[in-house]
Structure 1
Amino acid sequence: MPTHRITDLLEADLATLPPGPILVAFSGGLDSAALLHALSRLDSARARGLRAVHVDHGIHDDSAQWAQRCREFADDCNVQIDVCAIEVLRTRGLGLEASARRARYGEIERLMTSGEILALAHHRDDQAETVLLKLLRGAGPEGIGAMRPLRRLGPGLAWRPLLGLPRAALREYAEQHRIRWITDPSNADPSIDRNFLRMQVMPRIMSRWPEAEASIAQSATWARAAAEFIEVEADRALARLQGLDPATLHFRDWLDMPQALRDPILRRWLRTLDLPEPTHYQAAELVRQLAEAGEDRQPCVRWPGAEVRRYRELLHALPPLQVPPFDWVSAFDGGVLALPMNLGTLRLVDAERRCAIVTDDLHVRFRRGGESLRLDAGGHTRELRDLFQEAGIPPWQRGRLPLVFERDGGLLAVADLWVSEAGFALFGARGARLEWSLGKPTAAAA
């Protein structure tokens, strides 16, 4: 490929991008060196604001030398560069390379300005390898769609303008412009899955099917289009299926969705709640339990960081619940009382939301079973169990509601949901009401 074709491609792609400066992710290797060099020759890239960033992971013995060579290369291109040294912490379930990649992107996102466009040098060979890796891991259309040419990243965008070009075209460009690039020895380590594919698998595939890389990349394009269609439809369906509480979902309607939409809806729902997503096995187990559980059952599927429970007609997604200590009890005078297990605070407030102090010997604990209270003068005593069922409070939340008792053990209030006849008399005499907050009160309110 003539070298001017790369600059022509970049020039044309720049014209279609949203406004914003360009930040090149520069490792010093062949691919990113060719990209930075080519962009530095374009007036349209410089006019936007062009700079580079190199992240030094400190993993390899020569990383400090590589960082210096990156500075020198950027200087030769007359491009400002930020060199950042980071410490890579091994993440549970990830290898060293994946942990380094996560740390690198985290640092780059921290450096990006609002609207900045991160230029990445991934090419067609990378795309083909990514598709094969995703297939081997059982990915669906979203995964097989592999890398997008343009996507959201942190405060800006990630831009991959070279996905249509083979690695050979970048090597030809680098050689013609006498670019000296860094060779990372870890790229020759066959124990890394991507390296094994590149060195052992792809050459054999290409010897039989010479157009394989282009064909695989085209399949990724089709899969990406399908994934984007599914994404739009999943968004629309989620808006219909969510309950009044965003953390709930109408489970029957969700089960009735086509299989192609059911899983994406679940994952988008959990992402909106900042909850981790399940494995494919865990998602399938949730479907199985919901389909088989009787009306009187309350199926629950858990995975690290989240659990999904069914109660009546709704699914509830929530962080893992911790049960308050059975024997926990605390004196209560109306001032701010911090509850255990991150269950918020309880206090009495007057009409201006100032704390109202009582002198009675009150105490707070959680449910132990058999509690009841009289809501109205002359009315019947009601068991909490019945009140909870009538109000539709899910069973797992009932033991997390603080209960306020008077000196002789009579139940005065259930959080700020129900207050007994005696509770109204006691609190009303001070013009106060109970307030239960799952967040910390502000200094002014306290």
Structure 2
Amino acid sequence: MKIIKNLIKLIKNKKRILLAYSGGIDSTVLFYKLMDLKKIKKIKIRAIHINHQLHKNSIKWANHCFNNCKENSIPITIVKVIPNIKKFGIEGGARKARYDAIKNNILKNEILMTAQHQDDQCETFFLALKRSSGPKGLSCMPKKKKFFNNLLIRPFLEISKKKIYQIAKKNNLKWIEDNTNNNIKYERNFIRKKILVPLKKRWPFFIKNCCISAKLCSDQEKVIKDLLKFFFNKYLCKKNMLNINFLRKMNSKTINIILRTWIYLNSNNFFSIRKIEILKNTLIKNNNNFENKKIIFKKYEIRRYKEYIYWLNTIPSLKNIILSWFYPYNKIILPYNLGYLTKHNTYIKNSIKVKKPEFNELINIRFYYNKKIKLKKDKIKRKIKTVWQKYDIPPWERQKTPLLFYNCSFIGAINIFTTNKNKYDSKKYFYIKWFKNY
């Protein structure tokens, strides 16, 4: 009855549940507990079984789950997947394929329910130790978490494997025995068989206390997250910018935590301690010639301009791209999701006012110009780099700002400035505006 009360508390007013049903003892016990819950609470239950096609009995297991659901009038979806073992390994590939399949089959407003238990949590703790994780990693699996646009609940996280086995035997349940669970070449099986067995023998309370430690790490992370949220709201101009002057007032360990959190907020990934140190030495501590330096991370890069570091999406070079823009100058889409340009007859904020092209002038958009230019009100020519600096444009923004040309004459940088080539009378002009996608 305690498990049922816990389930009611966890699902609250939600009425749709999708059970990840492997047919093993853990998901089988959860299956029957949900059947008990259904007798006292108005809920709809569906099951999903993922056939990883990695075992000779995989079809037999799928049939077992199908028949059990049929007997209990529970709809079930059976999905065959092909794990990418070469890229992620057997365990990682199976896990990714499984959750991708669930993501593609879960319905709106359904809760995903999985049967990980206390012993699984302890194994996860050891795997996090192996990866030299900090408190975030050692927090292990949360009981509740967001799953794409849905919710994932793990109601058995505080229940031991021994207790689950007792429930199964007491109720004469039938489940699948997967003999690969005894193969210690897999990391979890090695931890389960070779590490946790002697530890439980010596200290019967070890797994429970290990999970308490994970919970303490999780609580600590929540407190740090709240404090950092306050910090970021106060000292970040935008999500992708970080104030270096403020960072320099912190001690090194605090800077590490702030940087790791900032990187996670932008990418949902963590930097290693080594990469954090490289970031600090390259872009924060070093005050000389930092403008062209950057840290590459997957499809992102981190760069510095003046007293801020920026988190940026990496895009290919636009140096050789030329886009023709023909009359009547309807919206023109820029490459690599940079946004679009529009023509207007009246001024709108940040647009540039330009002359109407002559009959023999073709409007074209480029992203590179490296000659000296004269701004509209200037008396002398100056390097374009000096002009960019005058308008406080970071180097990476210069490389993706659309430049307006009439034939080969440079008219201006859209949204920013125009050159002395932009000469118009009181009637022959219009406005061009760049709408960014970032």
TM bin (shorter chain): 0.7 to 0.9
CA deviation map 1:344-394 (0-9, x unaligned): 5556443499xx775233454333423312312x74444322221122111
Q: Does 1:432 align with 2:430?
A: yes
Measure, in 1, the Cα distance between the counterparts of 2:302 and 2:192: 40
Identify if the C-alpha distance between structure 1 residues 137 and 367 changes in structure 2 by more than 3 Å, giving closer, same or farther.
Answer: same
- 1:52–1:80 Cα contact (<8 Å) kept: yes
- 2:282–2:290 Cα contact (<8 Å) kept: no
Aligned match of 1:97 = 91
Aligned match of 1:79 = 74
Aligned match of 2:53 = 58
Identify if the C-alpha distance between structure 1 residues 251 and 338 changes in structure 2 by more than 3 Å, giving closer, same or farther.
Answer: same
Measure, in 1, the Cα distance between the counterparts of 2:115 and 2:422: 68
Q: CA deviation at 1:262?
A: 4.3
Structure 1 unmatched ranges of 5 or more:
1-6, 441-446
Please provide the CA RMSD for this pair. 3.0
Q: CA deviation at 1:276?
A: 5.0
1:150-189 equivalences in 2 (<5 Å):
150-189=144-183
Aligned match of 1:247 = 240
Measure, in 2, the Cα distance between the counterparts of 1:341 and 1:164: 47
Measure, in 2, the Cα distance between the counterparts of 1:257 and 1:19: 45
Aligned match of 1:139 = 133
Aligned match of 2:351 = none
- 2:283–2:290 Cα contact (<8 Å) kept: no
- 1:370–1:383 Cα contact (<8 Å) kept: yes
Measure, in 1, the Cα distance between the counterparts of 2:409 and 2:357: 19
1:128-277 equivalences in 2 (<5 Å):
128-243=122-237, 245-257=238-250, 262-263=255-256, 265-270=258-263, 272-273=265-266, 277=270
Identify if the C-alpha distance between structure 1 residues 131 and 44 changes in structure 2 by more than 3 Å, giving closer, same or farther.
Answer: farther
Identify if the C-alpha distance between structure 1 residues 294 and 258 changes in structure 2 by more than 3 Å, giving closer, same or farther.
Answer: closer
- 1:360–1:406 Cα contact (<8 Å) kept: no
What amino acid is aligned across from residue 194 of structure 1 in structure 2? R
Identify if the C-alpha distance between structure 1 residues 403 and 8 changes in structure 2 by more than 3 Å, giving closer, same or farther.
Answer: closer
3-state secondary structure, aligned to 2:47: strand
Aligned match of 1:290 = 283
What amino acid is aligned across from residue 361 of structure 1 in structure 2? E
What amino acid is aligned across from residue 24 of structure 1 in structure 2? L
CA deviation map 1:219-257 (0-9, x unaligned): 1121111111112122222212211x4321212324544
The share of aligned pairs that are identical, in percent, is 23
Identify if the C-alpha distance between structure 1 residues 126 and 294 changes in structure 2 by more than 3 Å, giving closer, same or farther.
Answer: same
Measure, in 2, the Cα distance between the counterparts of 1:16 and 1:178: 26
- 1:276–1:305 Cα contact (<8 Å) kept: no
| More divergent stretch after superposition (328-337 vs 146-155) | 328-337
- 2:118–2:207 Cα contact (<8 Å) kept: yes
What amino acid is aligned across from residue 246 of structure 1 in structure 2? K
Aligned match of 1:3 = none
Q: 1:41 aligns with which of 36, 52, 55?
A: 36
CA deviation map 1:176-227 (0-9, x unaligned): 2221211223322211111111111111222332321122111112111111
1:347-386 equivalences in 2 (<5 Å):
348-351=343-346, 359-362=359-362, 363-376=364-377, 379-386=379-386
Q: What number of residue pairs does the alignment pair up?
A: 427
- State the TM-score, normalized to the length of structure 2: 0.86
What amino acid is aligned across from residue 240 of structure 2 in structure 1? A
What amino acid is aligned across from residue 253 of structure 1 in structure 2? F
Measure, in 1, the Cα distance between the counterparts of 2:107 and 2:185: 37
- 1:39–1:45 Cα contact (<8 Å) kept: no
Structure 2 unmatched ranges of 5 or more:
349-355
Aligned match of 1:443 = none
Q: CA deviation at 1:425?
A: 1.2
CA deviation map 1:101-154 (0-9, x unaligned): 122122223333344322221111111111111011111111111111222222
Q: CA deviation at 1:258?
A: 5.9
CA deviation map 1:22-72 (0-9, x unaligned): 322111001110111122123466523233221222232322221110012
What amino acid is aligned across from residue 294 of structure 1 in structure 2? N
Q: CA deviation at 1:317?
A: 0.5
Measure, in 1, the Cα distance between the counterparts of 2:358 and 2:179: 72
- 1:275–1:318 Cα contact (<8 Å) kept: no
Q: CA deviation at 1:283?
A: 2.4
Measure, in 2, the Cα distance between the counterparts of 1:170 and 1:283: 43
3-state secondary structure, aligned to 2:277: helix
